[in-house]
Amino acid sequence: MLRIEALHHVSVNVTDLDRAKRFYTEILGLEEIPRPPFDFPGAWFRLGDRQLHLIVHAPTNTLRGTTAISSREGHFAIAVASYQDARRHLEAAGVPFDAHPQSRTPWAQIFLSDPDGNLIELSAMA
């Protein structure tokens, strides 16, 4: 039997590494961490006790081709401390988002897109 211990990392494709790195560091506040010297461009970020990997792979079949926000498409979720603080931060940065303060889930949700259309959910219990 396969014994799963935890999610280790999430990888997403990006087309412009510098633009993506600015988004993940300046907008989401993630810390870039060392990455092995692969033969393709990318970046790794600390995501709590897990990791987020950005991979430049052109042409890729995984990009949605849009930055339209939809909670029903594939996405990854990041737990944040405060729904209101996250909302204010995104508004101040001019980042479009779709807010769900009263969700059917036990947590409030904010959906946004990175510059390449990768969907991200910010989840907050408060």
All structural domains of the chain, each given as residue ranges with its CATH number in brackets, are 9-124 (3.10.180.10)
Please give the span between the terminal C-alpha atoms of the chain, in angstroms, as a whole number. 38
The answer to whether 114 and 25 have CB atoms below 8 angstroms apart is no
Q: Is 50 exposed, middle or buried (0-12, 13-18, 19+ CB in 10 A)?
A: middle
pLDDT at 51: 98
Residue 42 pairs in a beta bridge with 55
| pLDDT tens per residue, range 46-93 | 999 999 999 998 788 888 889 999 998 999 999 999 999 999 999 999
pLDDT at 93: 97
Which distant-in-sequence residues (6+ apart) come within 8 Å of 108 by Cβ?
83, 99, 100, 101, 102, 123, 124, 125
SS3 call for 46: strand
| pLDDT tens per residue, range 8-26 | 999 999 999 999 999 999 9
Q: Is the pLDDT of residue 126 over 80?
A: no
